[in-house]
């Protein structure tokens, strides 16, 4: 086999890549802040450290409070000065509000969640629903019964282990998770059914977060996305049906409870406490949102309220 043509092609490809990378840097050098050059094609990716906060601090001392990094084909601007951060997140927040969502995030929510959706009326509507409705003082007060019950369960758990060691860190962590689950649908299920569904949902959410946080080659080199070398897109696609199954089950059960309460003339959540599922379903029925809320939006808000709360 004659390897000469292959060798020549490889050399030409490398030279062209180096040229294009250098051209990219030089052509934008007058418009962009300074920063490390990195390698052709890969940029600064090979040099990233696990402790990014420490590495970025070192780079800020060298290049100043604002500098650039090329991560593959993605241009990233790092801001480390408090005054500049204030400009970005507060004074000019609408300019910087849009995100560049990862492939996993787009697959996971379809771009309709509060984090990845672009700034505009739709995003404002979601933010209003999440901050002003779900986490309003009135609705948090309505969920007091649910939160109180979880704390009491934790206390009983400790009392049952008198004379033995207790991992306080683990106890607090599990209690917080249980509180979040109660805020989601604590008034729908009780006993063994509640624990089973909660454990299954926590497992799925943990996997969901893991996929969102995992560095994906396809995000840095979009041209490679179709190949999904790391299998992240496939894992996310395989995970989504289980979310739908759990949330459909929860929502349908809650709708049955609400229908029976209306027939019997009971006040919703009078005894069980008001959770996020009921809050969102009430908003959907009342048409509080500027746009009609869909079940997809409700599911996305429930999933992200778990990760954010």
What is the structure's pLDDT at 5? 46
Report the chain's mean pLDDT, rounded to a whole number: 79
pLDDT at 65 over 70: yes
The whole-number average pLDDT for the span 294-302 is 78
Radius of gyration over alpha carbons of the chain, in Å? Answer: 25
Tell me what percent of the residues of the chain surpass a pLDDT of 70: 80
The pTM of the full predicted model, rounded to 2 decimals, is 0.74
- CA nearest neighbour of 60 among 33, 100, 88, 27: 33
In tens, the pLDDT along 212-266 reads 989 999 999 998 899 999 999 999 999 999 988 988 888 888 888 777 766 565 5
What is the structure's pLDDT at 119? 87
* Minimum mean pLDDT range among 76-80, 147-151, 172-176: 172-176
Tell me the C-alpha to C-alpha distance, in Å, between residue 232 and each of 74, 83, 203, 291. 19, 37, 17, 33
Chain center to CA of 283: 23
Stronger pLDDT, 168 or 291, i.e. the higher one: 168
3-state secondary structure 263-291: HHCCCCCCCCCCCHHHHHHHHHHHCCCCC
pLDDT at 60 over 90: yes
* Minimum mean pLDDT range among 55-59, 121-125, 179-183, 204-208: 179-183
- CA nearest neighbour of 182 among 245, 252, 296, 276: 276
Rounded Cα–Cα distance for residues 148 and 153 (Å)? 9
Rounded Cα–Cα distance for residues 135 and 113 (Å)? 16
The whole-number average pLDDT for the span 136-158 is 82
| C-beta separation of 46 from 39 below 8 A | yes
In tens, the pLDDT along 186-227 reads 666 666 777 788 778 888 888 988 999 899 999 999 988 999
């Amino acid at each position: 086999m004659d390897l000469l043509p292959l060798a020549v092609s490889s050399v030409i490809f490398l030279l062209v890549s180096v040229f294009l990378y250098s051209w990219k840097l030089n052509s934008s050098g007058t418009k962009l802040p300074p920063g490390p050059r990195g390698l052709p094609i890969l940029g600064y990716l090979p040099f990233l450290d696990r402790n990014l906060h420490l590495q970025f601090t070192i780079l800020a001392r060298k290049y100043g409070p604002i500098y650039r990094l090329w991560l593959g084909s993605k241009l990233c601007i790092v801001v480390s000065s408090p005054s500049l951060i204030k400009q970005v997140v507060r004074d000019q927040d609408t300019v910087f509000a849009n995100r560049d969502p990862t492939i996993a995030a787009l697959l996971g929510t379809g771009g309709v969640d509060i984090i990845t959706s672009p700034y505009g009326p739709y995003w404002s509507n979601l933010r209003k629903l999440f901050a002003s409705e779900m986490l309003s003082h009135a609705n948090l007060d309505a969920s007091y019964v649910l939160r109180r019950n979880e704390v009491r369960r934790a206390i009983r758990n400790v009392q049952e282990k008198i004379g033995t060691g207790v991992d306080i860190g683990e106890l607090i962590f599990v209690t917080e998770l249980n509180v979040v689950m109660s805020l989601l649908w604590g008034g729908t299920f009780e006993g063994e059914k509640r624990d089973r569904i909660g454990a299954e949902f926590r497992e799925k959410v943990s996997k969901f977060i893991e996929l969102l946080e995992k560095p994906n080659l396809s995000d840095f080199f979009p041209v490679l996305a179709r190949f999904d070398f790391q299998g992240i897109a496939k894992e996310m696609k395989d995970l989504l049906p289980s979310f739908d199954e759990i949330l459909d089950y929860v929502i349908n059960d809650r709708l049955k409870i609400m229908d029976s309460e209306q027939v019997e003339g009971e006040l919703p959540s009078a005894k069980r406490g008001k959770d996020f599922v009921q809050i969102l379903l009430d908003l959907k029925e009342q048409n509080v949102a500027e746009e009609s809320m869909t079940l997809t939006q409700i599911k996305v808000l429930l999933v992200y309220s778990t990760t954010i709360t």
